[in-house]
Structure 1
Amino acid sequence: MRGTVANVALVAFLLGAVWALWPSNLGGCTTLTIVSGHSMEPTYYTGDLVVSRCGEAGVGDVVVYRPARENGGRVIHRVVGGDAETGWRMKGDNNDFTDPWTPTADEVLGVARLHVPHLGAVAAILLAPLTWMSVLVLAAAVLMWPSRRATAGDDAPDETAPDETSTDGTSPDDAVLDDAVPVGGTR
């Protein structure tokens, strides 16, 4: 019974996590943004990770939006005026000018909800193609490296070979025993 309850709790947690983290580019409500640039300092710095969720934006909110004419680029700035229907006026906290775009509600991907300093820099390294190529090369090297057993088997004597004996009928192992000094005594 306890195992069943634990399994149900785990499944519920995983479903909740999937729902909460399902990315907006796949129809979900969450957008992860790695900050790049200085326009939002001192609120956000380059390398910070910002998690935004869909919802109603208002003046004063920091939002992530995708300008229609900018080929998929995203901007994270603060709403300083306007409205969702005619377009929001946007401005970076460190800028002395407003953005040239006025995104409407359908261009806003989400309102900033969580900020994790420096985590974006780590994520950028983990998501870089060079990192993944290095991991693949290392994995291939480990898989193709000869095992110790195969190497040891090549140098080991063949167990099916007959024992070597000297001309007096003794084996090389007998010679080692003849030269041994008894414990506690001398020769």
Structure 2
Amino acid sequence: MDTLLAPDARLARRVLRAVPTMLLWAAFAVAAFLLWPTNLGGCTTLTIVTGQSMEPTFHTGDLVVTRCTSPSVGDVIVYQPHELDGPRIIHRVIGGDASGWEIQGDNNDWVDPFSPTGDEVLGVQWFSVPKVGLAVQAITSPWIWASLIVLAIAILVWPRDDDEDDEGADETPAAAGPPEAVPDLEPAAPGETS
């Protein structure tokens, strides 16, 4: 016996089917807001640690995620001094204020020669993920990409075993068609037409 669903039940069912999709989109929007990089107008900076100046806190290959906020003494910050024109430095604030922070690496005996101001500080450490940077460096390595391209070309060009089996099949006679006219080799008698 078929029973018809009430209109309210259909609506409730449709809403329940849409909830997981809406939650997924909401989670995506929150993640995009929180992880949107500063070079695209966001407030997050991703930095891969190189060197030993921040050991034992961070090691080479660790990924440090920073958010733009006002640092205080004891915070780990990422800054980009104007004097160096490009590289980022990740060290700890040991003193100063927004007009010029005193910075030092956890594993260094000296204070950094730079006193980054508020506009040079890219962010304060939010969280870190150990060794993720090593995978990112491997993926972006030109040697890895060149090796993958050579491997892909070799796979495409290398003959397969199936090709050798098919060679015998190519030697079959051509498809039967109308027979060709065979020329008459006997000379025609005078007065006969061919």
TM-score class normalised by the smaller sequence: 0.7 to 0.9
Alignment of 1:16-165 (within 5 A): 16-84=30-98, 86-146=99-159, 150-156=163-169
**Which residue type is aligned with residue 52 of structure 1?**
T
| Aligned-CA RMSD value | 2.2
Question: After TM superposition, which residue ranges in structure 1, 4 or more long, deviate above 6 angstroms?
Answer: none
Residue 119 of structure 2 aligns to a residue in which SS? helix
Among 17, 26, 29, the alignment partner of 1:12 is 26
Structure 2 unpaired stretches of 5+? 1-13, 176-194
Partner of 1:171: none
TM-score, scaled relative to structure 2? 0.73
In 2, Cα distance between the equivalents of 1:28 and 1:143?
42
Alpha-carbon offset, residue 24 of structure 1: 1.7
In 1, Cα distance between the equivalents of 2:35 and 2:164?
48
Greater displacement, 47-56 / 140-149: 140-149
Query: Radius of gyration: which is bigger?
Result: 2
**Which residue type is aligned with residue 53 of structure 1?**
R
Q: Relative to 1, partners in 2 of residues 1:140 and 1:94: Cα closer, same or farther, differing over 3 Å?
A: same
In 1, Cα distance between the equivalents of 2:147 and 2:37?
27
Deviations 1:49-89 (A, max 9, x none): 211111111111000000111121000000111111x1111
**Seq. identity, %:** 50
Residue 103 of structure 1 aligns to a residue in which SS? coil
Q: How many residues align?
A: 161
